[in-house]
């Protein structure tokens, strides 16, 4: 059965990084994967910027028209329909971090409604180190706003709290507390806790409640890379 992941969340929550990690792991398992870049606002740190890398994984990428050009107004391509019409094993939607991005997603409400029950996963990526997500109340308010604009209900939370290369052992721990309270307030389960392998291992060793950890997932870094890696590999 086709699975569809919709990744929503605030600016800088790490949606694009997670989209790449989910996609690459699925492709390594021999699955047919499509990535949909629905970030209609942010011109930096988007899936399109890793287009060459994505192609090497034999993953299909659908991007907004005029992405990676000097045209400021992006538009949705007709190819988005392929997410529903073609036989993929996994389709991942990387949604922009505000109401504009969520509204773009809402255009496909009827298509999502026709998916088999249990195949759609709307995942709210949380980085409590980013603005507007530092408390359970702010997180819930942002989530409800994005639900309203996207016309979708969040089915799972992802604790992806980090400070990029400055991330330390306190980040996942602090994020855990906020995400746990948000889960209790809303009834939305925690689906994943993600982070750099060493930090994730240290966090798990602390013995937190598995109910509010979900599936632990160590992630690789593809978006925020050091200069030497960029110079060697490019985009």
Q: Which letter, b or e, does each residue of 109-142 get, where b requires 16 or more Cβ atoms within 10 Å of its Cβ?
A: eeebeebeeeebebbbbbbbbbeebbebebbbeb
Coil, helix or strand for 37?
strand
Model pLDDT, residue 46: 63
- pLDDT tens, position by position, 159-210: 999 988 888 889 999 999 999 999 999 999 999 999 999 999 999 999 999 9
Return d(Cα 47, Cα 79) in angstroms, integer. Answer: 16
- pLDDT tens, position by position, 10-66: 888 999 999 999 999 999 999 999 999 887 665 555 677 777 889 899 999 998 754
Q: What is the residue range of 149's domain?
A: 3-233
- pLDDT tens, position by position, 60-116: 999 875 444 443 444 566 788 889 999 999 999 999 776 777 888 888 999 999 999
The domain spanning residue 33 has which CATH number?
3.40.50.300
Q: How many domains does the chain have?
A: 1
């Amino acid at each position: 059965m086709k699975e569809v992941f919709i990744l929503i969340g605030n600016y800088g929550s790490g949606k694009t990084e997670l989209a790449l990690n989910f996609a690459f792991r699925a492709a390594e398992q021999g699955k047919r994967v499509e990535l949909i870049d629905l970030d209609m606002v942010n011109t930096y740190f988007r899936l399109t910027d890793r287009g060459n890398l994505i192609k090497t994984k034999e993953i299909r990428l659908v991007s907004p028209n005029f992405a990676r050009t000097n045209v400021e107004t992006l538009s949705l391509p007709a190819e988005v329909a392929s997410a529903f019409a073609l036989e993929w094993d996994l389709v991942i939607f990387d949604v922009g971090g505000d109401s504009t991005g969520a509204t773009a997603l809402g255009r496909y409400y009827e298509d999502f409604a026709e998916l088999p029950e249990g195949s759609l996963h709307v995942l709210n990526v949380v980085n409590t180190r980013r603005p507007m997500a530092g408390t359970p109340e702010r997180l819930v308010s942002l989530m409800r706003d994005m639900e309203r604009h996207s016309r979708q209900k969040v089915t799972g939370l992802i604790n992806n709290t980090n400070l990029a290369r400055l991330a330390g052992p306190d980040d996942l721990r602090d994020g855990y507390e906020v995400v746990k309270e948000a889960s209790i307030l809303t009834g939305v389960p925690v689906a994943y806790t993600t982070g750099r392998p060493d930090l994730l291992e240290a966090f798990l060793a602390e013995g937190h409640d598995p109910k509010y950890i979900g599936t632990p997932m160590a992630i690789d870094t593809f978006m925020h890379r050091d200069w030497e890696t960029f110079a060697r590999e490019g985009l």
